[in-house]
């Protein structure tokens, strides 16, 4: 029997999502016969980890602190093996700008973008570059906070006049934002487990304009198709890209790579990689594992086995 500390909750904006992921993970660990210690991450995290002395920490946190390498760094310091990617991969995945730059360097297609921190606007006059950026990307432009998950803070600017407001909104979630060319098409996700790809999932929001927060977590808001109904070569290409991203970002254990299949060009582009994909009822990684014949409990067991320092 392994003692597993499930780290969940925390202070990020995705706290509720994390609590759902954590609860499902705990249930599975109980069924698997592990000794489970649930920790809602807060000021007493280190103390509670020292007290409970787990063999493994299952990081079911999303967003700030949990997914960006902070908690992983602490676990390294405490010598507790943990699930998922290591510190450096978490840092690369959590920041969309860093992740996309790595993809660009490796020749992996990702929608064209420009990224700035607040200082660029406040002290370097980046606002004067906006017309050039708008011309280059073409409207609508997607404006995203670099470090926020679950599609929070994402705005679509349809014209120049919308861009400042969209930037103000995105900067509410962090000090770095990106302006990205909008790719219209199909939302695909490829999950990777221990360096091997799982079947592609397609998320089709039923009436939302895009795969937003509500569509992500509310049962019945999105139709999921897994394996996605795609031509074989597109499936193979999506999986190939996901593995490239996995390798380039240095992921470990498990991860999920989000892609768009452009309706117009029929080309695949990678939007981002998630170091700690959700484990909720509506999350894509468990769905995709299930389609590969790996039930939720088997998935959780496998992720625990893959825990490392």
Partner 1 sequence: MTIDDRDARIPGGPRSMTSAPGPRQTSRDLERYAGLFAARTKVMKSSAMRDLMALTERGDIISLAGGLPDTSSFPAASFAAIMGDVAVDSTARCLQYGPTEGLAVLKSCIAEVMAEEGTTVDPDDVLVTTGGQQVIDLVCKTLIDPGDIIIAEAPTYPGAVPTFCSYQADVIQIGLDEDGMRIGELEQTLDRLDRDGRRPKFIYTVPTFQNPGGTTMSLPRRRRLVEVVRERELLVLEDNPYGLLRYEGEPLPTLYALEGGDFVIYLGTFSKILSPGVRLGWSIGPRPVLEKMNIGKQASDLCSSSLTQLFVAAYFDSGRWQDYVHSLKEIYRRRRDVMLDALAECLGPESRWTHPQGGLFIWVTLPDYIDTTDLLALALDEHVAFVPGRAAFLDGRGASSMRLNFSGVGEADIREGVRRIGEVVREQVELYGTLTGTHEAVEAPAEPAPGEPDAELADVLHLPPAPERRAPPGAREG
In the annotation, is 14 catalytic?
A: yes
Both structure tokens of 30: 């109980």
Is the backbone peptide bond immediately before 140 cis, with ω within 30 degrees of 0? yes
Q: Rank residues 51 and 214 by Cβ distance to partner 1 and give the closer one.
A: 214
Residues 152-171 that bind partner 1 (CB under 8 A): 152-153, 163-165, 167-171
3-state secondary structure of 144: strand
Could you tell me if 216 and 204 are in contact, meaning their C-beta atoms sit under 8 angstroms apart?
no
Which x/- pattern over 215-234 shows residues binding partner 1 (rule: CB under 8 A)? --xxxx--xxxxx-x-----
| Given the residues 272, 283, 288, 301, the one annotated as active site | 272
Q: Round to whole Å and give the CA distance between 225 and 208.
A: 17
Q: Say whether residue 40 binds partner 1 (CB under 8 A).
A: no
In the annotation, is 150 catalytic?
A: yes
Both structure tokens of 74: 């602490």
3-state secondary structure of 260: strand
3-state secondary structure of 127: helix
Longest dimension (CA), the chain: 61
Rounded least distance, CB 53 to partner 1, Å:
27
Q: Rank residues 76 and 290 by Cβ distance to partner 1 and give the closer one.
A: 290
H or E segment at 288?
A: helix 284-291
Q: Rank residues 82 and 213 by Cβ distance to partner 1 and give the closer one.
A: 213
In the annotation, is 272 catalytic?
A: yes
Rounded least distance, CB 308 to partner 1, Å:
17
Could you tell me if 295 and 287 are in contact, meaning their C-beta atoms sit under 8 angstroms apart?
no
Q: Say whether residue 172 binds partner 1 (CB under 8 A).
A: yes
299: Cα separation from own chain's centroid: 18
| Residues making contact with partner 1 (CB under 8 A) | 11, 13-17, 118, 121-122, 127, 130, 150, 152-153, 163-165, 167-173, 193-199, 206-208, 212-214, 217-220, 223-227, 229, 236, 239-240, 242-243, 281-282, 287, 290-294, 298, 302
Residues tagged active-site: 14, 150, 217, 256, 258, 272, 274, 278
């Amino acid at each position: 029997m392994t003692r597993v500390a499930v780290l969940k909750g925390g202070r990020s904006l995705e706290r509720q999502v994390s609590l759902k992921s954590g609860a499902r993970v705990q249930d599975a660990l109980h069924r698997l016969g592990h000794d489970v210690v649930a920790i809602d991450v807060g000021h007493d995290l280190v103390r509670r980890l020292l007290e409970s002395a787990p063999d493994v920490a299952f990081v079911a946190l999303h967003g700030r602190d949990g997914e960006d390498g902070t908690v992983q760094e602490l676990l390294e310091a405490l010598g507790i093996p943990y699930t998922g990617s290591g510190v450096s991969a978490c840092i690369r995945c959590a920041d969309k700008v860093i992740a996309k730059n790595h993809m660009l360097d490796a020749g992996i297609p990702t929608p064209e973008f420009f990224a700035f921190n607040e200082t660029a606007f406040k002290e370097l006059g980046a606002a004067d570059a906006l017309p050039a950026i708008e011309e280059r990307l073409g409207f609508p432009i997607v404006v995203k906070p670099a470090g926020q998950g679950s599609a929070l803070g994402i705005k679509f600017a349809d014209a120049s006049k919308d861009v400042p407001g969209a930037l103000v909104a995105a900067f509410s979630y962090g000090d770095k934002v990106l302006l990205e060319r909008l790719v219209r098409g199909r939302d695909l996700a490829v999950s990777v487990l221990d360096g091997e790809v799982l079947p592609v999932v397609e998320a089709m929001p039923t009436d939302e304009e895009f795969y937003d927060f509500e569509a992500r977590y509310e049962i019945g808001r999105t139709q999921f198709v897994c394996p996605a109904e795609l031509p074989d070569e597109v499936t193979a290409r999506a999986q190939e890209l996901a593995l490239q991203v996995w390798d380039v970002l240095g992921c470990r254990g498990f991860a999920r790579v989000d892609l768009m299949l452009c309706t117009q060009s029929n080309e695949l582009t990678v939007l981002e990689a998630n170091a700690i994909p959700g484990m909720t009822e509506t999350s894509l990684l468990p769905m995709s594992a299930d389609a590969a014949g790996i039930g939720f409990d088997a998935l959780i067991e496998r992720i625990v086995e893959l825990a490392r320092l």
